[in-house]
Structure 1
Amino acid sequence: MQRVSVPFPEAPARRVVISGLGVTSPIGCTIADFQTSLLEGRSGIGELPGAGDAGPRFGGRIGDFTGHINDFGELPARLRKQLRKSLKVMNRETQLAVAATQSAIRDCGLDESAIDPERTGVSFGAGYVAIQPEDFLHGVEKCRTDEGTADLDRWGEDGLGEVQPLWLLTCLPNMPGCYIAMYNDLQGPNNTITLGDGGATLALAEAAHMIRDDLADLMIVGGCGNNLDSCSLMHVLLDEDLAEGATEPHRILRPFDRDRTGGLPAEGAAAFVLESYESAIRRGATIYGEFLGAGSSAVMEGRTPLRAAAMTNAARAALRSAGCAPENIGHIQAHGLSSRRVDADEAAAIRTIFGEAADHVPVTSAKSYFGNASAGSDAMELAAGLLALRNRKLFPVLNCNHVDADCPINPVRDNDADAGASFLKLSVTPQGQAAAIVIREAA
């Protein structure tokens, strides 16, 4: 079957484009390194420090990001000073988000003096930001009895004073958006979408509508996540299918492959600058892509999530919102978790939407490179799709050597696939909430 190009409908009155991009990921903390890793098939999966019997041995960790001020790139002196003072009260995912955001702001080439603070906002995706048990370690020790147990009746008098006074600010999901707005004096709309794996997709959609509705001129968008800390990892162990068996780290993740055994946890973030098409053209900005539409859905049968139905609904809503048909889509950025159940559900959704064309439309999965970092992976996948679109070159799904019969789709397995002029991005949470977005080249 030959794929044919179908023209897109007329664009809306106020077009919204992505003109800045930044990443802090297990496969690179610059756009160049991130893209090179994808095109060269370079995995970011490695052995986790201190891995034991209770959790996975491998995951997607950013080894060269320590949280030191130098990890945040070139910053104005004022911002560098402010940021250095606040690092000690930032959790890991907030640091990753701020670093990605500052990279995106630099990348978009917008002069700080040209930003209208009241017309510039933040929309960020996040997941469950866990309390860290070590924050309470010294307090619990103060309440320890001779028998080795903790006497919680003594907590108020003996233990509470040992807890860092601002500890609560390290575990709120809206803190990335808060710090990003505060450091950059962004006084416009500000919201956090706490949908985990679909948070960045819907954060971008909300930001685009803010610009379309003339509620903002510029929006900072992104997603961050850290599934490697102890409490978040416990949720992953409860909610997700993790890979089994010991093998070479870079061969573990294999979305849609018949031998896949599960996913792996990760950390990471990506951020974007959104503005009107006219504004980007006027200042000669690099345009990575144009937002067309988005959708979301959740379908339950009792307490059981029907992921295939939810992803189908979300994708159809996104296509409807974009005013286009499946034939318009150049490729699919899949959720691609490497789970036997979730991959099959996603493939079923793609098959339902595209019909026989699912045999031909290219499908890729960036998670095969870095694992699942909740909203962070959602954002990094968007970044991967935008770079593929800009270069018209798709990256392969790692380790998908034998496509599972339960996944009747067309995973990309080499570097020869054309990304086309648009993509559909899919995501779904362990609880079955699905999100989808349509992005195209800005003609």
Structure 2
Amino acid sequence: MKRVVITGAGTINALAHDVKGTLEAFREGRCGITELDIRDSERLTIRIGGQVHNWDPEVNFNRQQIVLYDKFTQFTLLAARQAIAQSGLDFDGHLGYEAGVVLGTAAGGVNTWDDNYRTVYEEGKNRVHPFVVPKLMNNAAASHVSMEFNLKGPTFTVSTACASSNHAMGQAFHMVRSGMCRAMVTGGSESMLCFGGIKAWEGLRVMSKDACRPFSLNRNGMVQGEGAAVFVFEEYEQAKRRGAEILAEVVGFAMTSDASDIVMPSKQGAARAISGALRDAHLNPEGVGYINAHGTGTAANDKTECAAVADVFGPHADRLMISSTKSMHGHLIGGTGAVELLACIMALRDGVIAPTIGYEEPDPECALDVVPNVARQARVEVALSNAFAFGGLNAVLALRRAP
């Protein structure tokens, strides 16, 4: 089995349009959740979100590309360009045949769906653009990344709601570890902050009107976000030979299904995923220093996740740091695990733990060290990234400090 390391990272989200800016925001505990600036926002009950502001697609793409790229694909390509540039890999030669793309998204081209429903139902037109299907399909971003960078190995999209990114990165990890591929471009993206996308989430009655406050007793729901994060996963010996900068090592992954309820989370399912990631990485619970929580800010998720962590880690749970960066950038649904992996890398590489901002009142059922409101300096050897999705689908990644 090969060792797998991360040699490139890129992102765009509500906090920043790159990794450097995002990590600075994590350190400062900055909130990127704002009033929404979208069409028909006055008809919405929920009017806040982790929206990407100052986004001009014409800065990054020509007009022919914009016709083909939904916003989630645009975000993905920007993040992929950053990640691949940092990695220093060139896929134009034989490496292109031994590298691929696995990305996560829950819903793909929601903005394209929304625009074209308006065209047909509101404006009464009987024709839509011939590129609507290739623009909105969930695999569009993965396909365009593969085409732009000559990635001719395994390429596909994973769609498992809020666990999509972690499932995608887990598959990429397996492919490199098994020797199937020498490198993989992986992560996830989402752009649901349009009228229809928000209206759909409003129907669930799990949304906050004012802020995301994970683990705080007075929390009142989740807040949607948008954006992307993309990474280069690479075989360690190859990265070492070429003198690449290693951001972190991916050492374990596990996924489980609750098989119980379409929306309510299960402590047992989450705990099995956490335990499985530790087992896959050959780690003892005591070796983990930080967990980036799923931490949505809903009572159901927060209490269930804390109970699962307490079950798995036992007495060590009191010495763990666990925080939710969704309090800063919102819940990116299928892209959320990818953006949150940046917080794990920051903890391992820089010794800085991103805080859970908006924390106001302790909850007896979430009695863990949630790193409230202010970032913390701490040396961490191993970090976990949790993702627990609607449908009862759980995915947990384990990372270690760069070798």
TM-score of the aligned structures, taking structure 2 as reference length? 0.93
Task: Describe how 1:60-79 pairs up with structure 2 within 5 A.
Answer: 60-68=50-58, 70=59, 72=60
Aligned twin of 2:164: 199
- The one-letter amino acid of 1:267's match is E
Aligned twin of 1:427: 387
Shift of 1:221: 0.4
- The one-letter amino acid of 1:134's match is D
Count of aligned residue pairs for this structure pair: 398
Aligned twin of 1:57: 47
Task: Describe how 1:381-400 pairs up with structure 2 within 5 A.
Answer: 381-400=340-359
SS at match of 1:123: strand
**Post-superposition CA distance 1:113-137 (Å, at most 9, x none):** 5662111100111102335243144
- The one-letter amino acid of 2:245's match is T
Distance 1:402 1:139 in 2: 48
Aligned twin of 1:182: 147
- The one-letter amino acid of 1:290's match is E
Distance 1:66 1:371 in 2: 21
Shift of 1:210: 1.0
User: Is the Cα–Cα contact under 8 Å of residues 19 and 288 in structure 1 kept in the other structure?
Assistant: yes
Task: Describe how 1:230-245 pairs up with structure 2 within 5 A.
Answer: 230-239=195-204, 241-244=206-209
Shift of 1:365: 1.1
- The one-letter amino acid of 1:88's match is V
Which ranges of 4 or more aligned residues in structure 1 deviate by more than 3 Å? 111-115, 136-143, 300-306
Shift of 1:141: 6.2
Aligned twin of 1:10: none
SS at match of 1:55: coil
SS at match of 2:337: helix
Pick closer, same or farther for the CA change 1:128–1:277 going to 2, 3 Å: same
Shift of 1:305: 3.7
Aligned twin of 2:76: 97
Distance 1:416 1:102 in 2: 31
User: Is the Cα–Cα contact under 8 Å of residues 212 and 223 in structure 2 kept in the other structure?
Assistant: yes
**Greater Rg over alpha carbons, structure:** 1
SS at match of 2:214: coil
- The one-letter amino acid of 1:15's match is R
- The one-letter amino acid of 1:435's match is A
Task: Describe how 1:12-23 pairs up with structure 2 within 5 A.
Answer: 13-23=1-11
User: Is the Cα–Cα contact under 8 Å of residues 307 and 433 in structure 1 kept in the other structure?
Assistant: no
Pick closer, same or farther for the CA change 1:301–1:278 going to 2, 3 Å: closer
Shift of 1:222: 1.0
SS at match of 1:52: helix
**Post-superposition CA distance 1:358-388 (Å, at most 9, x none):** 1220011111111111121111001221122
**RMSD across aligned positions (CA):** 1.9
Shift of 1:310: 1.6
Distance 2:187 2:263 in 1: 29
Distance 2:262 2:122 in 1: 40
SS at match of 1:121: strand
Distance 1:133 1:14 in 2: 43
SS at match of 2:352: coil
Shift of 1:430: 2.6
Shift of 1:271: 0.2
Q: Are residues 1:132 and 2:113 paired?
A: yes
Aligned twin of 2:398: 438
Distance 2:274 2:395 in 1: 7
Q: 1:327 aligns with which of 265, 277, 286?
A: 286
Pick closer, same or farther for the CA change 1:340–1:253 going to 2, 3 Å: same
Distance 1:291 1:212 in 2: 10
Distance 2:196 2:135 in 1: 14
Distance 1:214 1:398 in 2: 41
Structure 2, unpaired ranges of 5+: none
Distance 2:203 2:272 in 1: 26
Aligned twin of 1:31: 19
Q: 1:224 aligns with which of 189, 197, 208?
A: 189
Distance 1:300 1:361 in 2: 29
Aligned twin of 1:146: none
SS at match of 1:425: strand
Shift of 1:31: 1.6
- The one-letter amino acid of 1:56's match is I
Aligned twin of 1:150: none
Structure 1, unpaired ranges of 5+: 1-12, 73-79, 144-158, 247-251
Distance 2:370 2:123 in 1: 56
Shift of 1:238: 3.1
**Post-superposition CA distance 1:148-206 (Å, at most 9, x none):** xxxxxxxxxxx44x310111122211111000001111101112111121111111111
Residue identity over aligned pairs, in percent, reads: 27
